[in-house]
Amino acid sequence: MELARTAWRRSFLVYKASTQTTLRSSSSDSSNVAETPVVSRLADLESKVKDEKVHHALGATDELTSYIGLAREFANDSKEEHPYVDKLKRVQMILFDLHHAILRSTPGQAKSFEDRHTKDLEEWIAEYSKLLPPPEDYIIPGGGKACASLHVARTICKRAEHSIVPLVTNGAVDEAAQTYLKRLSDFLLTTSRIAAKCDKRTENIYIPRAEVSKEK
């Protein structure tokens, strides 16, 4: 991502220099260079990408989107049918929208994030929870490639949620987006359990050493 950002920035600077040269040649006073709206917008975007808070949020949401895609492909490659694949694709699209909102964010001018996206997650969680045994306190990630990759996506989701807190605090991102990421983490956990069930894999439960000693 750093290489891509550097390449984008280099292209932008070349474009900016070229534009300013053209403007200077058409003006009798080279010290008064008018800034076009296009250059102004690009400069604003470059400034936001360089902002540490925005940079971390963009990186986390991008990584989350990518790992959900990996989990989706593992599910598609499975010999068994995984019913949640289309839902994961839907989540990726929403994360792309969130990524765009973060890139264009301005403190105090947060764009509305639709609550219905979170409601969809809650409905899906309720639907899949009916197909699963009661959750254990500690599930050790594993249970097949699809299941394990969803566990990784869940941990990245928690980081993404944490990364947008400063942007929510300064009013650049809608608080509803943070709520969505929090519920998405729960959805990914539930879906990971469904993935293990689909692949007929057994969930590994963490057993404290004290309890193991008692059994012996």
Residue range 2-35, pLDDT digits in tens? 444 444 444 444 434 444 433 334 444 444 444 4
Interacting residues of 148 by C-beta distance below 8 A, sequence separation 6+:
141, 142, 192
Taking residues 164-192, report their average pLDDT: 96
Taking residues 109-118, report their average pLDDT: 94
Of 15-19, 48-52, 83-87, 91-95, least confident by mean pLDDT is 15-19
Of 11-15, 88-92, 125-129, 150-154, least confident by mean pLDDT is 11-15
pLDDT at 170 over 60: yes
| Confidence grade of residue 189 (pLDDT, cut at 50, 70, 90) | very high
Chain segment 29-66, per-residue pLDDT in tens:
444 444 455 444 444 545 545 578 999 999 999 999 99
Taking residues 177-181, report their average pLDDT: 97
DSSP letters, 156-191, are HHHHHHHHTHHHHHTTSS-HHHHHHHHHHHHHHHHH
CATH of domain 50-213: 1.20.1200.10
**Residue 160 near residue 41, CB atoms below 8 Å:** no
Percent of the chain with pLDDT strictly greater than 70: 73
Paired with 204 in beta bridges are 140
Beta strands in the chain (DSSP E): 139-140, 204-205
**Residue 135 near residue 193, CB atoms below 8 Å:** yes
What pLDDT sits at residue 50?
57
What is d(CA 173, CA 171) in angstroms, rounded to the nearest whole number? 6
The answer to whether the pTM exceeds 0.85 is no
